[in-house]
Amino acid sequence: MSDFPIAGADAPAFALRDRNGTPLAFGDGESSAPATLLFFFKHDCATCDLTAPLVERLHGALAAEGLRVVGVSQDAPAQTTGFVDRHELSFAVALDTALEVSAEYGFDAVPALVLAGDPRQVLFSFEGFVKRDLLELTRLAAQACGAATPEIVRDEDQLPEHQPGCGSKVHDPDVARRLAVRRGAATLGARRVRIPIDDDPFEFMAAQGLDDGLPVVPPTEERVLRMLQGTMRPASAVVAHIPPNLAPATVEKIAVNAVMAGCRPEYLPVVIAATEAACTDAFNLHGVLATTYFATPVIVVNGPIRHEIGLNCGGNLFGQGFRANATIGRALQLLVRNVGGGRPGGVDMSTLGQPGKFTCCVGENEEESGWEPLHVERGFGRNTSTVTLFAGEAPRAIRDQLSRTARSLGASVGLCLEAMAHPKLHRMGEVLLVVSPEHARTFARDGYSKTDLRARIQEVTARPLRELLPDDECQKGMALSAIPRELLGSDGRPTPDALDTPLAKFKRDEDILIIVGGGTAGKFSAVLGGWASGTTGSIAVTREIRNERSSSA
């Protein structure tokens, strides 16, 4: 669709330069010409060659009557000179090498002729060569100058009635892309940082502390604009306030950090949803970040988007080699660092950290599960895509290649989970259990539900309170505050009867989050321990990934 201005519209003003570098402007109020003819051309266009002598004739006939003719060349100076010399043009020619004026005029083909009256109202315009239009333009130009219509077209010219123009250079693919960047960049609000010419961009960004220890992709305007194609949300929209500084994370800042992390545009909605989820009160990202413990945001993705973006749900689930997994988790970490201001040695006080603090994002292997996937359990439709954020430790192994029944395998899982954090610590909060496809099949074969598995874990981990208290053998044990009140006497100590009361590893069955994930071979599952649960700790949060991708993406 062309935006070429037709009669009655305003012809955009411009300020270009001629081949000598002398300013050549249109519509700046300096010229008192009753009419101006703009002639857009490029040097290697036969239709421009056909038209140029006629424009020159028009100039010869009406310049004295006040008509101002301005050629606008889409080419570099040398090529422009070739064209001007070939046609012995005597009117002024402006260079639009950057094609910004051509783009603003919006014609699709050259030559493009625009006759504008005083001051800038378009009297007539056309693209390509159309004899009838040229005659009409001549008549209107003469009329505007109060002169008689000159004879521009002669019989010996043997002009065709019509000859299509050539494509405006604005539509050359790389030009169109460059112009789009220049236009789009104006909509981006982030501060521009110029990397010194003698600096390697990667070294510069590392020196500025913008990375996570691995190189980051420089977030140029072009890359950020491309990233923003991944969402229909406006760049300036504030998605969340990121701890610890509670700085606003706009869609644009998220896109900038997603570029740095190496994301593709189609991952952006996942990063946005993960940011939203991480910045809720329930998830308590500030606490997750500030703790000396191992916790970091673990992103679990459910629903159709897993396949749309190639997010790994299968083999090497927590491992390397999958761009979506690697970069989505990394983008969230970079946002915490760059926008939120949370850095190791600063607010991030983790004693040992863990590899997941670079990135941790996995998809549930819904296809290998006989159970409802995590997001359906948590109230979302199966065809809805979601992120669930869990503040977790690194995954650790649950190994059982021998169990042939669900009951036995459930016991193995429970016994392995008992060691989480410390075997004597019971009544704990959330934990994320990742059941491998082979283990999932063992459970499915016996019709074991997630509820059954949770109950089995609780059953095999239940220990009498006396075994869980600090003693001489091991001074670590359950804190009195973690023991149910009804087991405590008036002195605040456990009553003698209470010491035989069995307490399970987890305070509530539903705090055992279960997904299926990983490759189809291997009778191993994994557990990711949690951090402090409840209102002072972190509670897993699920958010819908809105289907917001721009159709033009």
Partner 1 sequence: MSESLVILDPTDERAPLGRRPASRPDRLHGTLGIIDIAKPRGDIFCDEIERLLHDRFPQLDVIRLQKPTYTKPAPGDLRDEVGERCQAVIQALAD
Partner 2 sequence: MHDLVDYEARGIPSVLVASSEFVHAAQTQAEALGMPDLAAGSVFVPHPIQDATDEEMRMKAQDAIDAIVEALTANG
The yes or no reply on residue 332 touching partner 1 (CB under 8 A) is no
Q: By CB under 8 A, what part of segment 97-126 binds partner 2?
A: none
The yes or no reply on residue 491 touching partner 2 (CB under 8 A) is no
User: What whole-number distance in Å separates Cα of residue 63 and Cα of residue 71?
Assistant: 14
Question: Per CB under 8 A, which region of 131-139, 190-198, 343-351, 356-364 contacts partner 2?
Answer: 190-198
Structure-token match 């760049």, residue found: 235
Out of 253, 330, 375, 507, which residue is the one contacting partner 1 (CB under 8 A)? 253
Residues paired with 112 in a beta bridge: 40, 127
The yes or no reply on residue 199 touching partner 2 (CB under 8 A) is yes
- Torsion of Cα atoms, 408 then 411 then 412 then 413, to 10°: 120
If DSSP codes are grouped into helix, strand and coil, which group holds residue 388? strand
The yes or no reply on residue 186 touching partner 1 (CB under 8 A) is no
Out of 21, 29, 196, 447, which residue is the one contacting partner 2 (CB under 8 A)? 196
**Which distant-in-sequence residues (6+ apart) come within 8 Å of 442 by Cβ?**
403, 404, 405, 406, 409
Question: Per CB under 8 A, which region of 88-96, 132-140, 189-197, 316-324 contacts partner 2?
Answer: 189-197
Q: Exposure string (b/e) for 432-463, b if CB count within 10 Å is 16 or more?
A: bbbbbbbbbbbbbeeebebeebbbbbbebbeb
Out of 73, 338, 369, 384, which residue is the one contacting partner 1 (CB under 8 A)? 338
The yes or no reply on residue 268 touching partner 1 (CB under 8 A) is no
Out of 7, 15, 153, 193, which residue is the one contacting partner 1 (CB under 8 A)? 193
Distances (CA, A) of 237 to 228, 231, 234, 334, 335: 12, 11, 5, 19, 16
User: What whole-number distance in Å separates Cα of residue 298 and Cα of residue 329?
Assistant: 8
Site size toward partner 1, by CB under 8 A:
31
Shortest reach from residue 196's CB to partner 2, in Å: 3
The yes or no reply on residue 245 touching partner 1 (CB under 8 A) is yes
Shortest reach from residue 222's CB to partner 2, in Å: 20
Question: Per CB under 8 A, which region of 181-189, 198-206, 457-465, 475-483 contacts partner 2?
Answer: 198-206
The yes or no reply on residue 198 touching partner 2 (CB under 8 A) is yes
Retrieve residue 208's tokens: 């500025």
**Whether 141 contacts 134, CB under 8 Å:** no
Out of 339, 360, 539, 540, which residue is the one contacting partner 1 (CB under 8 A)? 339
Structure-token match 């069955």, residue found: 509
The yes or no reply on residue 2 touching partner 1 (CB under 8 A) is no
The yes or no reply on residue 194 touching partner 2 (CB under 8 A) is yes
Instruction: Indicate which of partner 2, partner 1, none lies near residue 240 (CB less than 5 to 8 Å, by partner kind).
Output: none
The yes or no reply on residue 195 touching partner 1 (CB under 8 A) is yes
Out of 60, 304, 341, 522, which residue is the one contacting partner 1 (CB under 8 A)? 341
- Neighbouring CB atoms inside 10 A of 187's CB total 12
The yes or no reply on residue 209 touching partner 2 (CB under 8 A) is no
Spatial CA neighbour of 123 closest among 140, 142, 101, 148: 140
The yes or no reply on residue 376 touching partner 2 (CB under 8 A) is no
The yes or no reply on residue 191 touching partner 2 (CB under 8 A) is no
Spatial CA neighbour of 372 closest among 301, 450, 448: 450
Structure-token match 């557990």, residue found: 527
**Whether 528 contacts 434, CB under 8 Å:** yes
Burial bucket for residue 423 (CB in 10 Å: 0-12, 13-18, 19+): middle
Residue type for 128, please? G
The yes or no reply on residue 197 touching partner 2 (CB under 8 A) is yes
The yes or no reply on residue 347 touching partner 1 (CB under 8 A) is no
Applying CB under 8 A, which residues contact partner 2? 194-199, 204
- Which residues contribute to the site for partner 1 (CB under 8 A)? 188, 190-197, 201, 205, 208, 210, 218-221, 224, 245, 247-248, 252-253, 256-257, 260, 334, 338-341
